[in-house]
Amino acid sequence: MFPRLLRAFSTHAAASKPSTSTVAVTGSSGYIGSSFVVSELDRRFLRAFSTAASTASKQSTVAVTGSSGYIGSFVVSELLDRGYKVHCPIRGSTENPGKAEHLLKHPNAANLTIFDGGDLSKKGSFDEAFASADAVIHTAAQVDLGEDESIITDSVEGTKNVLSSVDKSPGVKRFVQTSSVAAIQKYNVPPGYVFTERDWNDWSTVANGDAYGVAKTTAEKLVHSHFASSDGRSAAAVNPGVVIGPVMNRSHTKASAYFLYACIMGKKAMNFPATFVDVRDVAAGHVNALESLPSIHGGRFLLVNDDGCVESGPLGLGEIASEKFPEYRFDIKPLYPEHIMKFARPLSMLPIVGHKIMNEYQRLAQSTPVQFDNKTTKEKLGLEFRPLDVTVKEGIESIIENGLAEFKK
């Protein structure tokens, strides 16, 4: 165990940047009523050591669903960075080993095991990967928007199949669910309302056009209910906003990182108010949540940066990109131009025919800024978020450096 402890501690310590700033700490570690000042370096040192000790003694193997996907790949990388062994169920990886190629490039890839499985639609597809794991991070999901009831059914059944495999694996004691802000935000609140983890999306329905919101809410509630009994297992959920940042391969530019790719390539993108978060912070949030269990059992944690809602959404990313790379041209285009939307919005409210133009969810999501409070995540998971301009800059650089796009002058 001790060598694993040192490896894990070294990884955490290296990731912590020293600072000369100081903080006042009261009532911690048994020093009730006392106050003392510690340097930021000391604080991070102690936190890193504590986390490393927990990692080495309590958890060594984590299975990650959706491990070749955008969020999942960065979760795998974060786990490997911290010294974990990682099980990756990847559907079709035997016939197409390239699906895991980017994961196998990690310096600690010797701690990685690839399983051909991970089909959310098939019960038992995760059994082998979970069998000898100590914990599961469930990032796998299908992102479908619309008014189709099957969006909900597929999400719920997929979650049930994952939980079924967990129940067959007695060693799995901790579980982290990738949920979404879609399970929190809703459009029947006063203007300026600030959402927290206490909020649940009880507004979305298939009828109003947001089956995805129903799907994410229902799946997350299913997870909390499944682990509600005190049987020695614990679970938590993380709720990311729109995830962007660096990428590892071309398939990642087809996920939400597409918005950065669209900036470079001058593609069209949905223009809607959005709150963004760096994929690396999302990965760290997952692993921090895992390492904080069971003390945060039943918890939910918003993963959104400090910049707040960008009212121009993905189009605003192009403005940031232009500031960071003034020598290049970024002409991301709105999927729904404003000169069309100003007519479509009122027309969509007409009885009988309005929903054929635009459903209620589309109309509100396209025009309503949504604000979130990430204070709980910072306090309980010890997570700090990269500024949006850093995420945009480093995300675009990653796409270029991976040869996935070229700058335009």
* Lowest mean pLDDT, pick from 45-49, 69-73, 381-385: 45-49
For residue 87, what pLDDT band results from cuts at 50, 70 and 90?
very high
Contacts of 406 (CB under 8 A, 6+ apart): 264, 400
Where are the chain's structural domains?
Answer: 1-41, 59-312+370-401
The pTM (predicted TM-score) of the whole model is 0.83
How far is the C-alpha of 162 from the C-alpha of 4, rounded, in Å?
29
CA distances from 47 to 50, 93, 348 (A): 5, 37, 53
More confident residue, 29 or 303: 303
Residue 151 has pLDDT above 50, yes or no: yes
Residues of 250-286 as b/e, b for ≥16 C-beta within 10 angstroms? ebbbebbbbbbbbbbbebebbbbbbbbbbbbbbbbbb
Count the alpha carbons within 13 Å of 243 in the hemisphere toward its beta carbon.
32
Q: What CA–CA distance (Å, rounded) separates 298 from 217?
A: 14
**Does the domain at residues 59-312+370-401 carry the CATH identifier 3.40.50.720?**
yes
Using CA atoms, how far residue 176 sits from 92, 286, 292, 294, 313, in Å, is: 24, 7, 11, 11, 28
β-pair partners for 274: 310
List C-alpha distances in Å: 202 to 26, 46, 51, 214, 275.
39, 41, 36, 8, 20
Mean pLDDT of the chain: 84
Query: d(Cα 327, Cα 367) in Å, to the nearest integer?
Result: 32
Q: What is the pLDDT of residue 331?
A: 86
**For the residues 24-50, what does the mean pLDDT come to?**
37
Please check the confidence at residue 7 and state whether its pLDDT lies above 80. no
Percent of the chain with pLDDT over 70: 81
Least confident range of 58-62, 251-255, 315-319: 58-62
pLDDT band at 306 (very low <50, low <70, confident <90, very high): very high
Nearest residue to 380 (alpha-carbon basis) of 268, 286, 289? 289
- For residue 48, the model assigns a pLDDT of 45
Higher pLDDT, 18 or 270: 270
The answer, yes or no, to whether residue 1 has pLDDT greater than 50, is no
Tell which wins on pLDDT, 214 or 20.
214
**299 burial class (0-12, 13-18, 19+ CB within 10 angstroms)?**
buried
User: Residues 154-189: pLDDT tens digits?
Assistant: 899 999 999 999 999 999 999 999 999 999 999 999
Taking CB atoms within 8 Å and a gap of at least 24, the contacts of 90-98 are 90/114, 90/115, 90/116, 90/117, 90/118, 91/116, 91/117, 91/118, 91/119, 91/125, 92/116, 93/68
pLDDT at residue 345, as a whole number = 67
Q: How far apart, in Å, are the Cα atoms of 319 and each of 162, 227, 371?
A: 41, 44, 21
- pLDDT tens digit string along 371-393? 999 999 999 999 999 999 999 99
Query: Which residues, other chains included, contact 358 with Cβ-Cβ below 8 Å and sequence gap of 6+?
Result: 344, 345, 347, 348, 366
Specify the pLDDT at position 19.
37
